[in-house]
Amino acid sequence: MADYVKLKDARFAPFEKSIREISAFDILDKFEKVGALDNYRRVSAGMTGGHNGFPWFHGLICECITGISDLIGREYNEELDARMDAIIAVIKQAQAADPEGFVNPFTTLMRPKMRFGLNGGSALWQHEIYNTGCLVEAGVHHYRATDKTALLQCAVKAANYYVNHVNHGEKWKVVCEHAVTEMALVELEELLQEEPELAEKVGAKPGEYAMLAKLMVDYKGDHQGRHQFPPYLGEYSQDHRPAREQDEAVGHAVRAALFYAGMASVSRYYGDEGLKTAAEKIWANIAETKLHISGGVGAFRDNERFGYQYELPNDAYLETCAGVALAFFGRELFTLKKDSGIFDVLDMTFTNLIAASVSADFTRYTYENPLVSDGTYERWAWHDCPCCPPMLLKIVGTMPNYIFTMDGSQLFLNMHVDAEAELSGIHFNYENGVLTADNAEPMVIHIRVPQYAKNFTVNGMAIPEGYGYYDALLRPGKALTVRFEEPAAKMTAHPFVTDDEGRVAIMKGAMLYAYEGEAESFEAFDPVLDHSAPVLNSDGTVTVRTVSGEKLPLIEYPSWNNHGKKMMRIWLKQEGLTADPEDLTGWEKKLYQPM
């Protein structure tokens, strides 16, 4: 039986179900309504002009296919399968219009003589390589979910166009203007390694795709002789320095996190220690200085970019796509370094930012996910640049695969989420803290001890705080019982984060809480808390008390803005709280910690 992971918990399982049964159809319907598929039809008919939407709509359609493929690969949906077949047929017809398999409707329709931004175009705008990466990724995921090769053939044909023109010697030098292609090409290569008989069937060239990914990584920071315009893409596209010399997250946050994920993918495939070291440094830079407490990244609207270290405004941009990309980066980095701190970050991202990015009825979405609102913010039914809904489909489609990681004969239990899995021929079940398996031999289980966990025990044995993964031996016919507490706590930010000076945020485990309501003015919507501890209520809310004796009910962050436009704050004033930026005792490698 093929590996699989199935969610069983009370939070994420219903969320996944609603994404599959509501959001997936809603997103496809809305793309169809704005004419995204008509772009392919115009290419197929040999037309010029008349492209609907942004140049990256092709990539977004393919990302939808990737996410939906993963969703129906776990729980089949005949209608979604048929919808994808229809879309794939349209893509295939458009690709057939070009003798080399180049498929990028915007360039073909609007800038046919300006491929890669040459002759007066702009690679940063046209997104040819990004769109190709999304197609390659979709082809791989669709095949894995359905065993159908129609889209995989399109993906291989599109990838071969770059293999033929870019790969070696005197051929073109290009880099991804918007990363995703590096990681997608490695995925294609790994699929061909797993099923070598596929290569002839789909016209693939084994060995070439990972090399192409590596070249695109190696070419970052090398601007001479570029076959694209502009030749220098700057920090915005992580093109300011060679990849192995990068050590700080900069530029467009989505492009950045996806590129860092691609670095990690190439490093894993080739055993490239230089890329591994760079990826580790960049992750630490994010986790320790550039991560918002919701698990979001990307502080500023201009260029949708990272800020400087500790520059974490509460009205930050925090694009949904950036949070998803961060999760992908974490997943790829974990294949290189089994660091529990990666999942301390991803716990926050999944629990807060990703869960908040869609409304309670699963038909309205976020682009930005700020930590403060003056009451003017609300989710949108659709957006001129609807890049976030497809990324939501992708991360929800793959989220179960984060819970467990199989490394040889050893299992890593990364997230304490009820689930069952079939991995390397062994059936695992983790429910209510009890892990069982049908293993025939004793096996080592690495159990993550979350940063927030108190009184952590395994089979009654107390595990001291500070463990990353606790190694337990699971014997045949036995079980491992995990118990821990996650009390509600007031969290403070590093003294260098001036935006949160004198304020606290309330968390229970990885869950962030929000104060939502109304006031005469936003300035008046800023209570001061006393020194009492937060109280967890039976309905899941948390109550905090103000210096005036008022009890404030707080809601889970993902549920905010589901009751109309209201004011909202995450960081609340705390009576008597001060921080000395010259005294960093206890803050080493920490960005947030309890009071």
Distance CA 233, CA 211 (A): 22
Measured CA distances, 73 to 2, 20, 69, 147 (Å): 11, 11, 6, 10
Q: Which residues on neighbouring strands pair with residue 299, listed in sequence order?
A: none
Q: Which helix (H) or strand (E) holds 373?
A: strand 372-374
Q: Which of 3, 73, 36, 7 is nearest to 390 (CA)?
A: 36
Query: Quick one: pLDDT at residue 465?
Result: 83
Token pair in block for residue 23: 């959001």
Handedness of CA 99, 103, 108, 113 (dihedral sign): negative
Rg value, the chain, Cα: 24
Could you read off the pLDDT of 484-516 as tens digits, one per residue?
A: 999 999 999 999 999 999 999 999 999 999 999
- Whether this model's pTM surpasses 0.95: yes
Token pair in block for residue 508: 């229970």
CA 548 to chain centre: 41
What are the boundaries of each domain within the chain?
A: 34-233, 407-485, 488-594
Query: Quick one: pLDDT at residue 180?
Result: 98
* The CATH classification of domain 407-485, taken from the options 3.30.1760, 1.10.3210, 2.60.40, 3.40.5: 2.60.40
Handedness of CA 335, 339, 340, 343 (dihedral sign): negative
Query: Quick one: pLDDT at residue 167?
Result: 66
Positions of the chain with pLDDT lower than 70, given as ranges:
1, 167-170
CA dihedral defined by 493, 499, 504, 508, rounded to 10 degrees?
Answer: -60
Token pair in block for residue 425: 């021929």
Query: Quick one: pLDDT at residue 169?
Result: 63
Contact 301, 564 (CB under 8 A): no
Query: Quick one: pLDDT at residue 137?
Result: 98
Measured CA distances, 568 to 216, 365, 521, 536 (Å): 43, 18, 12, 19
Burial class of residue 557, CB neighbours in 10 A (0-12, 13-18, 19+): buried
- C-alpha triplet 317, 322, 323: angle, nearest 5°: 100
Query: Quick one: pLDDT at residue 2?
Result: 78
Q: Which residues on neighbouring strands pair with residue 252, listed in sequence order?
A: 305
Query: Quick one: pLDDT at residue 57?
Result: 98
Backbone phi, then psi, for 515, in 5-degree steps? -100, 115
Query: Quick one: pLDDT at residue 319?
Result: 98
Contact 264, 275 (CB under 8 A): yes
Contact 568, 582 (CB under 8 A): no
